[in-house]
A and B are shown apart, each in its own frame.
Chain A
Amino acid sequence: MNEMKTIDARNTFCPGPLMELITYMKQASVGDTLELLSTDEGSAADVPEWVKKVGHELISSENVEGVWHVKVRKAK
């Protein structure tokens, strides 16, 4: 059963949100979905770029009332 986990990286600055995501990504199983919450605008662009580069799957990225919700599925 694949899991969905939310990582709260609000109020941390680059590269804090990415570091948080990577730390949890290492512990996750293939197929799990991680939702990263971030208030850092730079990370909103950088995190999807990292996801693409390392070969995971970006499910969605949206700004809800000033908080970025980036959903990523672990692909490998």
Chain B
Amino acid sequence: MARRINIVCVSGTRERLQMAGMIASVAAASGDEVSVFFSMNALAYFVKGADEQAPAEGHFGELMESNTGVPPFKQLFKFAAEMGDAKLLPCSMAIDLLELGQDDLEPELGEPTGLTVFLGDSAGAQLLTF
């Protein structure tokens, strides 16, 4: 039976986005129903033309930065959406505050979603925050 895994991405650091992307991609490719809610500093990386990589929080982030064999986090989220039907949802509050429209975001991101709807859909499922 498919598990439901909900991920909230808040931080804009490399380690946290990488870990969230790893979980989203592996879970989605294994048949789990995955939803990722992007808000705060995490959402900025999914604006068209944004930096492809995020600043490291510590040593491990620097290690990943210097190693070309580590899949970039944006590729992991895109893979989760394309190969495993993961939903990538931009927070509507963050969109409003950043004065963005949906056209400003990467095409794999879905409809702007409010917390009430996201939490309602997440009821009873695992929720991980990064």
Contact = CB atoms under 8 A, between A and B. Distances in A.
User: Chain A interface: which size bin?
Assistant: 10 to 19
Interface residues of B, number: 13
A15 B30 contact: no
B30 A19 contact: no
Contacts, number: 37
Given A19-B25, A23-B83, A26-B83, A12 B31 contact: no
Most A-side CB within 10 Å, residue of B31, B69, B70, B76: B69
B2 to A, nearest CB: 11
Interface string B43-83: 00000000000000000000000010111000010010001
A31 interface: no
A54 B71 contact: no
A3 B76 CA distance: 28
B67 to A, nearest CB: 7
Given A13-B70, A13-B71, A14-B22, 10 more contacts: A12-B70, A13-B67, A15-B22, A15-B76, A16-B69, A19-B71, A19-B79, A22-B29, A23-B83, A26-B83
22 contacts: A12-B69, A12-B71, A13-B69, A13-B71, A14-B22, A15-B22, A15-B25, A15-B76, A16-B70, A19-B76, A19-B83, A22-B29, A23-B83, A26-B83, A46-B26, A50-B26, A50-B29, A50-B30, A53-B30, A53-B31, A54-B30, A54-B31
Interface of B: 22, 25-26, 29-31, 67, 69-71, 76, 79, 83
